Amino acid sequence: MAKGPRRSAARQDGAATRAGLLEAAGAVFAEVGFDRATAKEIAQRAGTNAAAVNYHFGGIEPLYEAVLAEAHRRLMSYELLIQTIGAEGDPKDKLRRVIGLLVRVVRAESNMSWPAKAIVREIISPTPHIEKLRREELDPKKALIFGLISEIMGRSPDDPLVAQAMLSTMAPCLMLLVAEQRLSEVIPDLARTAVSDEMLAERLASFALGGLAQLSADAAAG
């Protein structure tokens, strides 16, 4: 009879250790990057031993992959994105809401919490360990955004023009994530004290929608 509670407690302890390792690893990877991180330092921060990294994740490389996926999930979850894009309404209004979400998240995270910093490090200095992030986070979210942009443009999601339009639509948010502080220093009118999240998002959405309309018109004419 006592085995059940003991097993349940062990599972809870294991889950807590795994979560602690993920959190500690996120902070370490964000601070020093994948190449300079060690299982020993991660384990010490998590209050456990280095063997726990292998036990729970299979090594530091799978742990890094898990950190990237978790970081992207915290910045923008698939559930929130599909809730926004899957709602009833004008696809242009949906794009406005998506850009609004991204601007708020990026500006909130630009103080370099570990999820934002880990993703920025991977963008600036890519590693070979991005497959899990691509498979679990990037591809599903990309499909939603492609679908939304293709609906606005009246083109197939696999049309190359949709991919090019997605790049120009999402690039400003990516730039904010990577270098919002520097941008605000160089262009003070982009600082949070100068323009609110709502106003900046509306400007970016208007620009994006105008570009999508022009691309569609050019493609139809050409």
Determine contact, residues 46/21, Cβ cutoff 8 Å: yes
Query: Residue 209 half-sphere exposure, CB side, CA atoms within 13 Å?
Result: 17
| Residue 80, pLDDT above cutoff 90 | yes
CA distances from 59 to 25, 62, 65, 122, 168 (A): 12, 6, 10, 19, 37
Instruction: State whether 116 and 82 are in the same domain.
Output: yes
Determine contact, residues 78/141, Cβ cutoff 8 Å: yes
How far, in whole angstroms, is CA 54 from its chain's centroid?
Answer: 26
Q: What is the pLDDT of residue 12?
A: 63
Instruction: State whether 52 and 150 are in the same domain.
Output: no
Instruction: State whether 67 and 80 are in the same domain.
Output: no
| Residue 179, pLDDT above cutoff 90 | no
Question: What's the number of domains the chain is made of?
Answer: 2
36: helix, strand or coil: coil
Instruction: State whether 66 and 107 are in the same domain.
Output: no
Token pair in block for residue 121: 């490090």
Domain boundary at 54, 71, 88, which?
A: 71
Q: What is the pLDDT of residue 127?
A: 92
Residue 102 domain flag: yes
Question: The dihedral of CA 81, 84, 87, 89: what is its sign?
Answer: negative
Instruction: State whether 163 and 177 are in the same domain.
Output: yes
Instruction: State whether 90 and 107 are in the same domain.
Output: yes
Q: What is the mean pLDDT of residues 156-168?
A: 95
Residue 54 domain flag: yes
Using the structure block, give the residue that is written with the tokens 């139809």.
220
Instruction: State whether 151 and 183 are in the same domain.
Output: yes
Instruction: State whether 27 and 130 are in the same domain.
Output: no
Residue 1 domain flag: no
Domain enclosing residue 89, as ranges: 75-221
Instruction: State whether 197 and 99 are in the same domain.
Output: yes
Domain boundary at 49, 71, 93, which?
A: 71
Instruction: State whether 109 and 174 are in the same domain.
Output: yes
Q: What is the mean pLDDT of residues 76-85?
A: 94
- For the segment 28-72, what is each residue's pLDDT rounded down to a tens digit? 999 999 999 999 999 999 999 999 999 999 999 999 999 999 999
Residue 200 domain flag: yes
